């Protein structure tokens, strides 16, 4: 495959991302769903590719299109490779440019938030693995690894689902990544729809503390644009362009973080081969992206110690992350296997239903019992993240707290620093599939069940004391909106 073919494949993705943006701006239905342009573009490419157009033309005996639809096999090959590469960029940028609080300070600030997030993350494993061992494996003859797909697809999102594809395929679960991508799509759409429904319900029943009227968003927000009078800086210039372009500098830092992550992973694999590879192998199957995230933490800590932390701008890192994530999502959806979902439709639907039930139930039951103030404003962010991606949670928080009057955004942000290294694409997510492959579903199920109980019971017993005390101190009529 030539460099020209690779470049052309990337340009086609860019053109369809632009088409997706135009559809977002022009379509009222798409705006109300808050669908990202990358998902719109990905579905268009999916329909024009081998899974839909190629199959239809082949069935009709039409030789105008190839089995690959409108696209060449080389182009599809490039697109299928991109997610595994881009996911490392997405995770390497997570902590670059951020001030890293101590674990003790982060836990003190966001204890209830972390309890809710861990309950959602570990609960998705508990529900998924229980469903696998009780129904999916004995009835539908699936692999036990299917029990990890709820967390990979919902909590991890499209990026994690696509990034796990090489591991899933290497361990013999070829349909796993396509099922996880399908679950991630259901999660994003369902997260927005259910989130807006619950927001309107909370506003009408007095469970929100900031927004008291009907929830409305501006036309610009629905279109995904900024108004002419809005001033939102994309990033800060930390390097003079005459020396090196700031974007180039930050891309180089991301590359260094990924390299550090690769060295960490290689070292762990070397130790594993040296000491216990004859018994079992774990790091051999762990993908690079969670270690790239740790590489970003290492680079950030070194930069701060060297007095150069101010040269790394987190907003610039978010732009790099967003670029990588957009291309990751559109390429992953473009190469999604509808056939794999169709062949496993009932397990797919059961996993989606179980994950949605857990997320909604935990949010509505646990959040008001462990978060003392602004439980809905703070909890809706974790619900959105547990259904898709962090951006979904931020969108929902923005609707119920448009001016950041509550501590929702601050608590959510600090919670991410503790939560992200483990769930939603972190170390637990990356290790879950190899662990199930090596030891079966029960060890991971027991570990996640114990963590779930600690998060729920511990959160209710410790952080819930303040909530219960607050209810006693307030008049009865002021307590009607607290879960």
pLDDT single digits (tens) 165-222: 889 999 999 899 899 989 988 888 888 789 888 988 998 888 888 876 665 667 777 7
Q: Is 88 helix (H, G, I), strand (E, B) or coil?
A: helix
CA 251 to chain centre: 22
pLDDT of residue 477: 43
Residue 388 inside a domain? The answer is: yes
CA distance 355 to 365: 15
- Give this prediction's pTM: 0.76
Rg (Cα) of the chain, in Å, rounded?
A: 23
Residue 448 inside a domain? The answer is: yes
What confidence tens digit (pLDDT) does each residue in 15-28 have? 999 999 999 999 88
Is the predicted pLDDT of residue 277 greater than 50, yes or no? yes
Give residue for tokens 């599939």.
433
Q: Which of 370, 238, 214, 374 is nearest to 311 (CA)?
A: 238
What confidence tens digit (pLDDT) does each residue in 428-454 have? 998 999 999 999 999 999 999 999 999
Q: Please, are residues 44 and 20 in contact by the beta-carbon 8 Å criterion?
A: yes
Q: Which of 136, 166, 138, 140 is nearest to 148 (CA)?
A: 136
pLDDT of residue 69: 75
pLDDT of residue 317: 92
Ranking 8-17, 99-108, 130-139, 236-245 by mean pLDDT, the lowest is 99-108
- Domain span at residue 458 reads 3-222+234-479
Average pLDDT score over the chain: 85
Q: Which of 148, 88, 185, 222 is nearest to 388 (CA)?
A: 185
Is the predicted pLDDT of residue 480 greater than 60, yes or no? no
Residue 228 inside a domain? The answer is: no
Instruction: pLDDT band for 101, please (50, 70, 90 cuts).
Output: low
pLDDT of residue 253: 97
Residue 119 inside a domain? The answer is: yes
pLDDT of residue 482: 42
Number of structural domains in the chain: 1
Mean pLDDT on 269-277: 83
Is the predicted pLDDT of residue 106 greater than 60, yes or no? no
Q: Is 69 helix (H, G, I), strand (E, B) or coil?
A: strand
């Amino acid at each position: 495959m030539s460099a020209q073919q690779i470049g052309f494949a990337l340009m086609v993705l860019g053109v369809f991302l632009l088409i997706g943006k135009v559809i977002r701006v022009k379509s009222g239905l798409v705006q109300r769903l808050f669908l990202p342009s990358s998902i719109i573009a990905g579905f268009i490419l999916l329909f024009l590719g081998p899974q839909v157009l190629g199959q239809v033309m082949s069935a009709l005996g039409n030789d105008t299109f190839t089995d690959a639809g409108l696209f060449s096999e080389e182009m599809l090959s490039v697109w299928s490779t991109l997610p595994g590469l881009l996911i490392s960029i997405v995770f390497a940028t997570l902590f670059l440019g951020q001030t890293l609080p101590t674990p003790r300070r982060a836990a003190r600030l966001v204890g209830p938030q972390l309890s809710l997030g861990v309950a959602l993350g570990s609960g998705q494993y508990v529900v998924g693995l229980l469903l696998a061992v009780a129904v999916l494996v004995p009835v539908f003859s699936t692999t036990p690894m299917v029990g990890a797909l709820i967390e990979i697809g919902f909590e991890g999102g499209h990026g994690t689902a696509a990034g796990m594809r090489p591991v899933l395929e290497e361990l013999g679960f070829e349909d796993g990544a396509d099922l996880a991508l399908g679950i991630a799509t259901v999660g994003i759409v369902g997260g927005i729809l259910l989130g807006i429904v619950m927001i309107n319900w909370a506003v009408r029943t007095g469970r929100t503390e900031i927004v008291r009227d009907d929830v409305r968003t501006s036309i610009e927000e629905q279109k995904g644009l900024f108004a002419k009078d809005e001033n939102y800086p994309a990033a800060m210039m930390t390097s003079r362009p005459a020396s090196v372009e700031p974007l180039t500098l930050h891309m180089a830092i991301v590359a260094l973080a990924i390299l550090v992550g690769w060295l960490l992973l290689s070292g762990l694999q070397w130790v594993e081969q040296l000491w216990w590879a004859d018994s079992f192998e774990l790091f051999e199957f762990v993908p690079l992206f969670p270690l790239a995230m740790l590489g970003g933490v290492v680079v950030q800590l070194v930069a701060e110690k060297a007095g150069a932390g101010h040269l790394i701008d987190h907003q610039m890192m978010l732009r790099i992350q967003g670029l990588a994530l957009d291309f990751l999502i559109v390429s992953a959806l473009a190469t999604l296997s509808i056939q794999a979902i169709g062949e496993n439709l009932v397990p797919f639907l059961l996993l989606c239903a179980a994950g949605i039930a857990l997320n909604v139930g935990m949010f509505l039951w646990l959040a008001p019992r462990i978060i003392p103030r602004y439980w809905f404003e703070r909890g809706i962010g974790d619900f959105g993240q547990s259904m898709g991606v962090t951006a979904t949670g931020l969108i929902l928080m923005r609707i119920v707290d448009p001016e950041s009057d509550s501590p929702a955004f601050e608590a959510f942000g600090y919670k991410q620093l503790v939560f992200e290294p483990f769930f939603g694409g972190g170390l637990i997510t990356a290790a879950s599939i190899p662990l199930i492959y090596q030891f079966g579903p029960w060890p991971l199920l027991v570990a996640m069940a114990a963590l779930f109980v600690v998060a729920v019971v511990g959160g209710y017993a410790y952080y819930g004391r303040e909530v219960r005390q607050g209810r006693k101190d307030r008049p009865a009529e002021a307590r009607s909106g607290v879960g």
